[in-house]
């Protein structure tokens, strides 16, 4: 007993009933235009005094008008929003945004016309049938209703027939609820077919997801390189300062100054990256320092880092300069983690059409402990080089670990 009641008058059935009535309300202007046209065709008869056939004629005129106006871009977003909110359809089964392409526009027009057309009929029945059913059910209990001319018109002038008004009126109400529930279910089943994503919509959604993932990967790369380098450099400097705390106070001062400079620079970079995350968008200009800031980067990495530069780095395009800075930063981070305190050499050579970065550090006496996630440093360097059209190679050469990166200067454009 409870299930039939839920199907007819449950929350989902009521919401779908509201959805149908909303369609009837939206159809009202089209129906009014149809009544004007019908009044002109039949000689100016008032739409309020017109026969039922005239009203259905106005209904037939309004449907093509609704189909034409459904071609406006906002039609599908509004239809999808109403269907999601009132028809109980999962959000991923309906398309977002205006309809693109002839097929999607035709399906949107079909849904809009179906919704408004069926909604107008349901709205009319909802307005007319319940008062009639209640009047029929009230006949045995109201003398004024029994004495009215409507009873003879309806064939209910006999006393025994009037008592049939109770089950008849109740049957009318139940029939209306059943028709509305069935119609709402029909529309809900047709919605994914008519308002669902087309191949063009799926392609656009996939491109948006790919763009979002690319932005997230870039931001993650920036955080990994800047914060990872800072932590490694600070750890290295603090460890060296602790070992010579009593014997070499001057070195301790230099180490503390390097820690201060590294953390200050990293906090600024971190604020820039987190600012992009708070905005929820990427303007294509991720934060990063140019190659001019390499000196402070090397100083913060410790005294065992040797930097040599060939060529004028101010000729390097800004985008290439930022990525090259991050590559050197990540290379120093890996060296600080795995070189075992050995000397690290970093060489930058600017050629006619490319920037070459070469970094070497001695291999440790024993293999370093592997990180649980395998690390992202070399992958990040390879991604940066690939995005600029360059190459990246890393691996042991003789007794040293070598990182070689080539970045074409045209990659900055």
Here the CATH number for the domain that contains residue 268 is: 3.30.565.10
Domain's final residue, options 160, 179, 197: 197
Q: Are residues 266 and 193 in the same domain?
A: no
Q: Are residues 161 and 277 in the same domain?
A: no
d(CA 301, CA 334): 11
Domain's final residue, options 145, 172, 197: 197
Helix, strand, coil percent values for the chain (each to nearest 5): 70, 10, 25
Q: Are residues 58 and 187 in the same domain?
A: yes
Q: Are residues 277 and 321 in the same domain?
A: yes
Q: Report CA torsion sign: 316, 321, 324, 325.
A: positive
Domain's final residue, options 176, 197, 218: 197
If one counts the domains in the chain, the total is: 2
Q: Are residues 188 and 222 in the same domain?
A: no
Q: Are residues 285 and 375 in the same domain?
A: yes
Token readout for 123 is 């709205």
In order of 70, 233, 268, 307, 375, the CA distances from 236 in angstroms are 67, 5, 21, 18, 19
Q: Are residues 178 and 133 in the same domain?
A: yes
| Structural domain containing residue 324 | 205-412
The closest alpha carbon to 201, from 101, 84, 67, 108, belongs to 101
In order of 215, 325, 348, the CA distances from 285 in angstroms are 11, 15, 24
Q: Are residues 12 and 134 in the same domain?
A: yes
Q: Are residues 26 and 67 in the same domain?
A: yes
pLDDT in tens, the chain (413 residues): 567 777 788 889 999 999 999 999 999 999 999 888 887 887 755 555 557 788 888 899 999 999 999 989 899 999 999 999 999 888 888 888 888 888 889 999 999 999 999 999 999 999 999 988 888 787 777 666 666 665 655 556 666 666 677 888 899 999 999 999 999 999 999 999 999 888 777 777 777 777 677 767 776 766 666 676 677 677 767 877 787 787 888 878 877 877 777 777 777 667 666 665 655 544 445 555 677 777 777 766 666 778 888 888 888 888 888 888 888 888 877 776 666 667 888 889 988 888 999 988 887 765 554 444 445 677 878 888 888 888 999 888 888 888 999 999 876 55
d(CA 22, CA 20): 5
- Tell how strand 400-408 and strand 354-362 pair up: antiparallel
- Tell how strand 344-350 and strand 305-310 pair up: parallel
Q: Are residues 50 and 193 in the same domain?
A: yes
Q: Are residues 321 and 220 in the same domain?
A: yes
Q: Are residues 231 and 248 in the same domain?
A: yes
């Amino acid at each position: 007993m409870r299930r039939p009641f839920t199907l007819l008058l449950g929350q989902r059935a009521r919401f779908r009933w509201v959805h149908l009535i909303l369609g009837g309300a939206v159809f009202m202007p089209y129906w009014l235009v149809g009544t004007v046209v019908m009044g002109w065709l039949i000689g100016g008869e008032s739409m309020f005094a017109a026969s039922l056939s005239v009203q259905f004629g106005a209904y037939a005129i309004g449907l093509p008008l609704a189909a034409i106006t459904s071609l406006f871009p906002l039609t599908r977003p509004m239809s999808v929003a109403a269907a999601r909110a009132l028809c109980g359809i999962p959000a991923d089964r309906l398309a977002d945004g205006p309809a693109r392409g002839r097929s999607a526009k035709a399906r949107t027009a079909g849904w809009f016309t179906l919704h408004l057309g069926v909604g107008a009929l349901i709205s009319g029945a909802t307005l007319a049938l319940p008062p009639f059913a209640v009047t029929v059910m009230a006949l045995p209990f109201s003398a004024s209703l029994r004495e009215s001319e409507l009873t003879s018109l309806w064939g209910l002038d006999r006393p025994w027939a009037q008592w049939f008004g109770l089950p008849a009126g109740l049957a009318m109400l139940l029939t209306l609820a059943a028709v509305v529930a069935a119609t709402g279910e029909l529309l809900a089943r047709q919605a994914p077919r008519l308002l669902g994503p087309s191949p063009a919509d799926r392609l656009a959604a996939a491109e948006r997801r790919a763009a979002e993932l690319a932005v997230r990967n870039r931001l993650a790369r920036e955080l990994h390189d800047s914060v990872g380098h800072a932590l490694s450099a600070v750890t290295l400097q603090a460890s060296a300062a602790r070992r010579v705390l009593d014997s070499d106070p001057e070195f301790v001062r230099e180490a503390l100054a390097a820690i201060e400079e590294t953390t200050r620079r990293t906090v600024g970079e971190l604020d820039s990256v987190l600012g992009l995350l708070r905005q929820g968008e990427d303007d294509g200009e991720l934060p990063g320092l140019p190659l001019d800031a390499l000196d402070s980067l090397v100083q913060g990495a410790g005294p065992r880092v040797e930097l040599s530069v060939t060529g004028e780095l101010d000729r390097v395009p800004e985008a290439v300069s930022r990525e090259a800075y991050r590559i050197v930063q990540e290379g120093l981070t890996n060296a600080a983690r795995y070189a075992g305190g050995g000397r690290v050499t970093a060489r930058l050579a600017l050629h006619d059409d490319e920037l070459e970065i070469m970094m070497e550090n001695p291999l440790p006496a024993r293999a370093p402990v592997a990180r649980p996630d395998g690390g992202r440093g070399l992958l990040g360097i390879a991604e940066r080089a690939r995005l600029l059209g360059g190459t990246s190679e890393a691996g042991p050469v003789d007794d040293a670990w070598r990182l070689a990166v080539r970045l074409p200067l045209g990659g900055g454009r």
